[in-house]
Amino acid sequence: MDGNGRWAQRRGLTRNEGHRRGKDSVRAVVEAARELGIPYLSLFAFSNENWLRPSTEVNFLMQLFHRYLLTETKRLMKRDIRVLALGDTTRLAPALRSALKQIVETTANNRSMTLGLALSYGGRQDITAAARRIAEAVAAGTMKPEDVDEATVAGALATAALPDPDLLIRTSGEQRISNFFLFQIAYTELYFTDTLWPDFREREFLQALADYQHRERRFGIVENGVNHHPLRAQN
Ligand code: FPP
C-alpha cells in the first residue's frame, strides 16, 4: 500500500495525513473484496524495514493501526470477516499487540473472508523463522530431514492458514516486492499501478481484478493448450 507520503506531499499536507487517507482506502478495498466474494485478502501495512522511519511517523502509524482495530471490529464482524495477524507482533507496543490479539480472537469464527494484516512483517524473516522452527523439530526428533518438503515450509510460515496469493497489487509506480511474501508468490500474478494508495479505491481495485482476469496462468506447465495447475493435477 504505497504512496501515502507522496499523495500528501503533492497536496502540501503532512505524510501522516496521507496515511490517514490510506486508512480510508483500506476500508474501501476490504469491503469491495468482501462484496465480490474474494475469500482471502492480505494487506502489507508495515514492514520490518519501516521501523527505521522517523519515530514520529512510526508512532503515528502505530496509533492509526490501533484505532483501525478498535473502530473496525464491528464492521468486520457484521461482514463475517476473520482477521489474521502476520508478522513479528512482539515488536508492537503492548496496547496495539493486545488489540490485535483481541480482534483475531473476536473474529476467529468468521468465514466469509479472511483478512491478513501484515504488521512488522518481512518475507525473509518469515522464511528464516520457518527454517528455525523446522530445524528445532528435526533437532527434537519430531521430524526427519527427508520429510521436509514445500508443504512443511509453507506450513511453518506466518501465512500457514492462507493459500498462495493469486494476485499481488502494488500501488504508486514501485515495481519491487520489497520483502513482502517471497516464498508464497512463486506463481502469483503481479499488478503494478501508478495510482497512489490513498487514491486506490473500489474502481482501481476492480481494474486490477479485470486485468488479472485476462492473464493466462500456466504455473510453468501447458497441457493440450489448457491451463493446468500442478496442485490440482490429481483432481
Ligand atoms: C507506504 O507508503 C505505506 C506505509 C508504510 C503505511 C501503510 C499504512 C496505511 C495504508 C494506513 C492504514 C493501514 C491499516 C491496515 C489500517 P509510503 O508512506 O512510504 O508512501 P511514499 O512512498 O509516497 O512515501
Please give the grid coordinates belonging to residue 134.
523446522
| Rounded CA separation 123/15 (Å) | 26
Distance, CA 46 to ligand 1 centroid (Å)? 7
Class of residue 73 by CB neighbours under 10 A (exposed 0-12, middle 13-18, buried 19+) = middle
| Rounded CA separation 42/38 (Å) | 11
| Rounded CA separation 46/93 (Å) | 14
With a Cβ cut-off of 6 Å, ligand 1 is lined by: 1-6, 19, 22-23, 26, 43, 45-46, 50, 61, 64-65, 68, 117, 172, 197
At 233 the pLDDT is 41
Measured from the Cβ of residue 82, the count of other Cβ atoms closer than 10 Å reads 21
Output the residue whose Cα is nearest ligand 1's atom 7.
45
Give every residue of the chain whose pLDDT is below 50, as ranges. 228, 232-235
**Closest atom, ligand 1, to C-alpha of 119:** 15
Catalytic (active-site) positions: 2, 50
Distance, CA 112 to ligand 1 centroid (Å)? 26
At 193 the pLDDT is 98
Please give the grid coordinates belonging to residue 196.
497512489
Distance, CA 151 to ligand 1 centroid (Å)? 32
At 224 the pLDDT is 62
**Closest atom, ligand 1, to C-alpha of 45:** 7
Distance, CA 170 to ligand 1 centroid (Å)? 12
Full set of structural domains in the chain with CATH: 4-122+165-234 (3.40.1180.10)
**Closest atom, ligand 1, to C-alpha of 174:** 22
Reported as a single tens digit per residue, the pLDDT across 65-90 is: 999 999 999 999 999 999 999 999 99
| Rounded CA separation 170/193 (Å) | 7
At 232 the pLDDT is 46
Out of 115, 177, 197, mutate this one to test ligand 1's pocket (max ligand atoms within 8 Å of CB): namely 197
Reported as a single tens digit per residue, the pLDDT across 168-183 is: 999 999 999 999 999 9
